Chains A and B, each alone.
Chain A
Protein backbone atom coordinates (compact mmCIF):
# COMPACT_ATOMS: atom_id res chain seq x y z
CA UNK A 1 0.00 0.00 0.00
CA UNK A 2 2.76 2.45 0.94
CA UNK A 3 5.70 0.74 -0.80
CA UNK A 4 7.72 3.37 -2.61
CA UNK A 5 4.92 5.90 -2.23
CA UNK A 6 4.99 9.36 -0.73
CA UNK A 7 2.26 10.15 1.77
CA UNK A 8 0.01 13.17 2.26
CA UNK A 9 -1.34 13.19 5.84
CA UNK A 10 -4.50 15.18 6.51
CA UNK A 11 -5.40 15.27 10.21
CA UNK A 12 -7.96 16.93 12.44
CA UNK A 13 -7.56 18.41 15.89
CA UNK A 14 -10.45 16.45 17.41
CA UNK A 15 -9.57 13.32 15.42
CA UNK A 16 -5.97 12.35 14.75
CA UNK A 17 -3.82 15.48 14.23
CA UNK A 18 -1.43 15.79 11.26
CA UNK A 19 1.83 15.53 13.26
CA UNK A 20 0.63 12.26 14.86
CA UNK A 21 -0.30 10.79 11.47
CA UNK A 22 3.14 11.78 10.19
CA UNK A 23 4.93 10.36 13.24
CA UNK A 24 3.19 6.96 12.87
CA UNK A 25 3.76 6.79 9.12
CA UNK A 26 7.40 7.84 9.33
CA UNK A 27 8.01 5.28 12.06
CA UNK A 28 6.64 2.72 9.60
CA UNK A 29 9.31 3.81 7.10
CA UNK A 30 7.09 5.93 4.90
CA UNK A 31 8.04 9.29 3.40
CA UNK A 32 5.55 12.01 4.38
CA UNK A 33 5.66 14.92 1.92
CA UNK A 34 2.92 17.00 3.50
CA UNK A 35 1.00 17.01 6.76
CA UNK A 36 -1.62 19.39 8.05
CA UNK A 37 -4.25 19.59 10.77
CA UNK A 38 -7.76 20.90 10.21
CA UNK A 39 -9.74 22.79 12.81
CA UNK A 40 -13.30 22.84 11.51
CA UNK A 41 -14.51 25.35 14.07
Chain B
Protein backbone atom coordinates (compact mmCIF):
# COMPACT_ATOMS: atom_id res chain seq x y z
CA UNK B 1 0.00 0.00 0.00
CA UNK B 2 1.14 3.50 -0.94
CA UNK B 3 3.53 4.87 1.69
CA UNK B 4 2.08 8.39 1.68
CA UNK B 5 -1.38 6.93 2.27
CA UNK B 6 -0.04 4.94 5.20
CA UNK B 7 1.31 8.14 6.75
CA UNK B 8 -2.00 9.98 6.22
CA UNK B 9 -4.00 7.16 7.78
CA UNK B 10 -1.66 7.02 10.75
CA UNK B 11 -2.27 10.75 11.29
CA UNK B 12 -6.05 10.24 11.03
CA UNK B 13 -5.89 7.50 13.65
CA UNK B 14 -3.88 9.79 15.95
CA UNK B 15 -6.43 12.58 15.42
CA UNK B 16 -9.70 10.62 15.66
CA UNK B 17 -8.79 7.39 17.51
CA UNK B 18 -8.91 3.93 15.90
CA UNK B 19 -12.14 3.13 17.76
CA UNK B 20 -13.92 5.93 15.89
CA UNK B 21 -12.79 5.00 12.39
CA UNK B 22 -13.93 2.53 9.73
CA UNK B 23 -12.23 1.86 6.40
CA UNK B 24 -14.15 1.16 3.18
CA UNK B 25 -12.20 -0.17 0.20
CA UNK B 26 -12.96 -0.05 -3.51
CA UNK B 27 -9.99 -1.91 -4.99
CA UNK B 28 -9.73 -5.28 -6.67
CA UNK B 29 -8.01 -8.63 -6.11
CA UNK B 30 -4.83 -8.91 -4.09
CA UNK B 31 -4.90 -5.15 -3.45
CA UNK B 32 -7.84 -5.72 -1.06
CA UNK B 33 -5.88 -8.18 1.07
CA UNK B 34 -2.76 -5.99 1.13
CA UNK B 35 -4.72 -2.86 2.14
CA UNK B 36 -6.75 -4.72 4.78
CA UNK B 37 -3.66 -6.35 6.25
CA UNK B 38 -1.79 -3.03 6.33
CA UNK B 39 -4.63 -1.34 8.25
CA UNK B 40 -5.15 -4.13 10.75
CA UNK B 41 -1.92 -5.98 11.52
CA UNK B 42 0.58 -3.64 9.82
CA UNK B 43 2.36 -3.18 6.49
CA UNK B 44 3.20 -6.71 5.25
CA UNK B 45 6.03 -5.34 3.08
CA UNK B 46 7.63 -3.67 6.13
CA UNK B 47 8.40 -0.63 3.98
CA UNK B 48 5.96 2.04 5.15
CA UNK B 49 5.04 4.01 8.27
CA UNK B 50 2.61 1.23 9.26
CA UNK B 51 5.31 -1.49 9.36
CA UNK B 52 4.92 -3.23 12.71
CA UNK B 53 1.96 -0.99 13.62
CA UNK B 54 -1.28 -2.86 14.42
CA UNK B 55 -3.98 -0.25 13.92
CA UNK B 56 -6.71 -2.89 14.13
CA UNK B 57 -9.09 -0.75 12.04
CA UNK B 58 -12.34 -2.38 10.90
CA UNK B 59 -11.97 -2.82 7.13
CA UNK B 60 -14.83 -3.42 4.69
CA UNK B 61 -15.23 -3.47 0.92
CA UNK B 62 -18.07 -1.59 -0.73
CA UNK B 63 -19.15 -4.72 -2.63
CA UNK B 64 -19.62 -6.80 0.56
CA UNK B 65 -23.28 -7.50 1.13
CA UNK B 66 -23.24 -5.98 4.62
CA UNK B 67 -21.96 -2.69 3.19
CA UNK B 68 -23.82 -2.37 -0.09
CA UNK B 69 -27.21 -3.03 1.51
CA UNK B 70 -26.72 0.07 3.70
CA UNK B 71 -26.14 2.40 0.77
CA UNK B 72 -28.82 4.34 -1.13
CA UNK B 73 -29.94 1.97 -3.88
CA UNK B 74 -30.11 4.56 -6.64
CA UNK B 75 -26.52 5.84 -6.40
CA UNK B 76 -25.22 2.33 -5.87
CA UNK B 77 -27.02 1.06 -8.97
CA UNK B 78 -25.79 3.95 -11.08
CA UNK B 79 -22.14 4.05 -10.09
CA UNK B 80 -21.13 0.80 -8.38
CA UNK B 81 -23.34 -2.18 -9.18
CA UNK B 82 -21.76 -3.11 -12.51
CA UNK B 83 -18.51 -3.79 -10.67
CA UNK B 84 -20.16 -6.81 -8.99
CA UNK B 85 -19.74 -8.48 -12.40
CA UNK B 86 -16.17 -7.24 -12.83
CA UNK B 87 -14.48 -7.77 -9.48
CA UNK B 88 -14.50 -11.16 -7.75
CA UNK B 89 -16.90 -10.44 -4.87
CA UNK B 90 -16.59 -13.93 -3.33
CA UNK B 91 -12.80 -13.61 -3.26
CA UNK B 92 -13.04 -10.17 -1.67
CA UNK B 93 -15.46 -11.42 0.99
CA UNK B 94 -13.26 -14.46 1.69
CA UNK B 95 -10.11 -12.35 2.05
CA UNK B 96 -11.76 -9.96 4.50
CA UNK B 97 -13.54 -12.74 6.44
CA UNK B 98 -10.21 -14.57 6.85
CA UNK B 99 -8.54 -11.45 8.18
CA UNK B 100 -11.39 -10.73 10.62
CA UNK B 101 -11.13 -14.29 11.95
CA UNK B 102 -7.39 -13.88 12.60
CA UNK B 103 -8.08 -10.52 14.24
CA UNK B 104 -10.75 -11.99 16.54
CA UNK B 105 -8.39 -14.78 17.66
CA UNK B 106 -5.70 -12.28 18.53
CA UNK B 107 -7.92 -9.98 20.57
Contacts and interface: CB of A to CB of B under 8 A. Distances in A.
B27 A24 contact: no
A6 B67 CA distance: 15
Given A20-B26, A23-B79, A8 B71 contact: no
Interface residues of B, number: 33
Interface in A1-41: 1-2, 4-12, 14-18, 20-21, 23-25, 27-28, 33-34, 36, 38, 40
B21 A20 contact: no
A28 B22 contact: no
Interface of A: 1-2, 4-12, 14-18, 20-21, 23-25, 27-28, 33-34, 36, 38, 40
Interface of B: 2, 5, 8-9, 12, 16, 20-28, 31, 35, 57-58, 60, 62-63, 66-67, 70-72, 75-76, 79-80, 83, 87
